[in-house]
């Protein structure tokens, strides 16, 4: 790793800042995707989690609730 790359890695208190947290970036991205799906899914009266469950059931049914939960 080059010195320039090393300097780009947050250290100490910088590491704790929200903008430097991978979990926050993933959370923000997930919310963005859900926001994009919302208008499309509202036409069918379903939520994004319901849509995901339907996708799993379309792939393979019947499933037990346990199997559905494991896939989700």
Instruction: Summarize pLDDT for 15-71 with one digit per residue, the tens.
Output: 788 888 888 889 999 999 999 999 999 999 999 999 999 999 999 889 999 999 999
Six token digits for residue 52: 């995901």
Q: Quote the CA–CA distance of 15 and 67 in Å, as a whole number.
A: 38
Number of domains in the chain: 1
Q: Provide the angle, in degrees to the nearest 10, between the axes of the packed helices 22-42 and 48-59.
A: 80
Q: Is it the case that residue 6 has pLDDT exceeding 80?
A: no
Confidence label for 7 from pLDDT (cuts 50, 70 and 90):
low
Domain of 54 in residue numbering reads as 3-71
Could you give the C-alpha distances from 17 to 12, 20, 39, 47, 52, in angstroms and in order? Answer: 10, 5, 33, 32, 32
**Torsion angles phi and psi, residue 60, rounded to 5:** -155, 120
């Amino acid at each position: 790793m080059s010195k320039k790359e090393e300097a780009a890695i947050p250290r100490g208190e910088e590491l704790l800042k929200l903008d430097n947290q991978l979990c926050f970036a993933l959370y923000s991205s997930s919310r963005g995707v859900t926001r994009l799906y919302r208008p499309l899914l509202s036409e069918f009266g379903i939520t994004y989690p319901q849509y995901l469950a339907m996708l799993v059931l379309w792939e393979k049914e019947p499933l037990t609730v346990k199997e559905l939960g494991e896939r989700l």
